[in-house]
Amino acid sequence: MTTETELKFRIAPRKLSSILLSGGASRRRPDVSRQSLISTYYDTTKHKLRRHGLTLRVRKVEDRYVQTVKSGGTGGVTRGEWEHEVSGARPDLKKTKHTPLRDLATRKFPRKLRPVFQTDIHRTAQARRVRKSQIELAVDRGRISAGRRTRAVAELELELKSGHVADLFRLARDLVRKTGAELDLRSKAEQGYLLVAGAAGAQHAEPIALKAELSPHEAFRLIAHATFRHVATNADPVRDMDAEGVHQMRVGLRRLRAAISLFADILPRASTARVKAELKWLTGELARAREIDVFLTESIQPITAQGVPKRGARAIRKRFSGQRSAAFERAREAIMSARYRRLLIDMIEWIEGGRPHARNGRTIAAYAADMLDRRIRKARKQGKHLNDLKPIERHKLRIKIKKIRYAVDFFKSLYGDDGRKELAALSGRLKRIQSALGKLNDFMSHRELATEAALTAPPAHRRAQAFASGVIVGQERKAADGLMKDAAKALHRLRRLRAVPNGGA
């Protein structure tokens, strides 16, 4: 087995030609190589390899065929790679005995394999030396094909051949600054699978699989990569000003920030503080878009059918539709900015290179059990006095509940079947609490928005708009009592877990 440590970037096609030349390379220099690479990716109909984090391809390089198995496609910069020359375009599973694919290759498995998609890439590559490190810089042009569906490829890859990962990031930052390239956490294989599925628009969270023997820091890296991929893969939907894309990127940011909070005692403080500040910035740039979108779709649009005069409903809808467009444009500009592109690189380097504090050799199984027990106890204690809490205190309780719910999602793979059933019940209660407290928090924000709209409406629509605003505030105030009761009931039923993770006893 070999390992490949690489970063992939997408870049405007018009800028591809200038990348190699920017390092002083000439088209005629001998250290610039060119290849045509046609790769066919294989899997079962149900994509068994993908579900196990593996890819299998056969690549034609001139008159040779090279079979490659890759593992570890979880967003990290390093992956396992097993290459063997084969006699033709079909995979030869006899040459996968010393790869992770071996455990999946039953007798019937070869018959189930079929081509899933193909990449046709023209690659131009050059070796670069950065300090004491050797890095291959490759420019890829071409396309991915899956049946009748195709997707253009315009990518830059940096692969560390020898030396230090820090030098890889050093070169990456320089190229991003000069070309505006954007780190793309999805491999060509992942893009191919998305093409097969016809998946476009907002991307949801990926499942997280942890092994009980991992250290807390190793587990955090897997969680951080998965949650950050949830953020980054929604960049295009946010650029398209898609409401669900904005929502999913915000969910990804919340999950990532929750993971950092849950593992705060093992993370380096100084570098973590810098990362948290940038994630908070991005969260803030998206917040207004989500806030106005929810207010418009859940509070304003329904009132037209509830007896509110059309003129008032139309006026307040027009007002906030304009604000919604401005807020989505703000979110789009954030994702288009150089600051966002730097955040992507800084985040991956921090996840990969952060040095954890020592935790006495504990496994993630023991760490997770202690964390969940401690946080559930604290939430139960505070929840007993829900009706006495001020709005800011309810908000803080909601954040605590949300972090526990995310922790349950992060750690559920550590539990057996019975434990997962208990976790599912716990997650359901946490979701009800979070939803109720979240709506109460939204109502506070909506009241401010509605009041401002009523007070600042133009004279021609002031009375009608004030009436519409009053209806919204009145309905939400009436609903608040029921939400408080729902939250209190679910908090009362919150119990400490009886199940323990496998290996966590």
Q: What percent of the chain has pLDDT over 90?
A: 56
Instruction: Tell me phi and psi for residue 56, to 5 degrees.
Output: -130, 120
DSSP classification of residue 352: H
Looking at residue 26, its pLDDT comes to 45
Q: For residue range 422-431, what is the model confidence (pLDDT) as tens digits?
A: 999 999 999 9
Positions of CATH 1.40.20.10 in the chain: 226-492
Helix, coil or strand: residue 228: helix
Strand extents, DSSP E, 173-266: 182-183
Q: Which of 13-27, 312-326, 402-416, 468-482 has the lowest average pLDDT?
A: 13-27
Q: For residue range 148-178, what is the model confidence (pLDDT) as tens digits?
A: 999 999 999 999 999 999 999 999 999 999 8
Q: Across-strand partners of 78? A: 5
The answer to whether residue 112 scores a pLDDT higher than 50 is: yes
Positions of CATH 2.40.320.10 in the chain: 2-200
Contact criterion met (CB below 8 Å) for 92 and 127: no
d(CA 480, CA 474): 10
The answer to whether residue 205 scores a pLDDT higher than 60 is: yes
253's CB contacts (< 8 A; 6+ apart) are 231, 279, 282, 283, 286
Looking at residue 334, its pLDDT comes to 98
Helix, coil or strand: residue 22: helix
* Average pLDDT of the chain to the nearest whole number: 87
Q: What percent of the chain has pLDDT over 70?
A: 89
* 226-492 CATH pick, 1.40.20.10, 3.30.230.10, 3.90.1150.10, 3.40.50.1240: 1.40.20.10
Q: For residue range 352-364, what is the model confidence (pLDDT) as tens digits?
A: 876 666 556 789 9
d(CA 341, CA 336): 8
CA 136 to chain centre: 27
Q: For residue range 312-321, what is the model confidence (pLDDT) as tens digits?
A: 777 778 888 9
Pairing of strands 182-183, 2-10: antiparallel
Helix, coil or strand: residue 240: coil
What is the pTM assigned to this prediction?
0.87
Cβ-count burial of 391 within 10 angstroms (0-12 exposed, 13-18 middle, 19+ buried)? exposed
Contact criterion met (CB below 8 Å) for 206 and 230: yes
Q: What architecture is domain 2-200?
A: Beta Barrel (2.40)
Sorting pLDDT into bands at 50, 70 and 90, what band is 102?
confident
Q: Across-strand partners of 77? A: none
Q: Which of 378, 364, 203, 347 is nearest to 275 (CA)?
A: 347
Contact criterion met (CB below 8 Å) for 316 and 473: no
Sorting pLDDT into bands at 50, 70 and 90, what band is 24?
very low
Q: For residue range 357-392, what is the model confidence (pLDDT) as tens digits?
A: 655 678 999 999 999 999 999 999 888 888 888 888
Top pLDDT among 466 and 185 is at 185
* Mean pLDDT of the region 402-407: 96
Top pLDDT among 275 and 463 is at 275
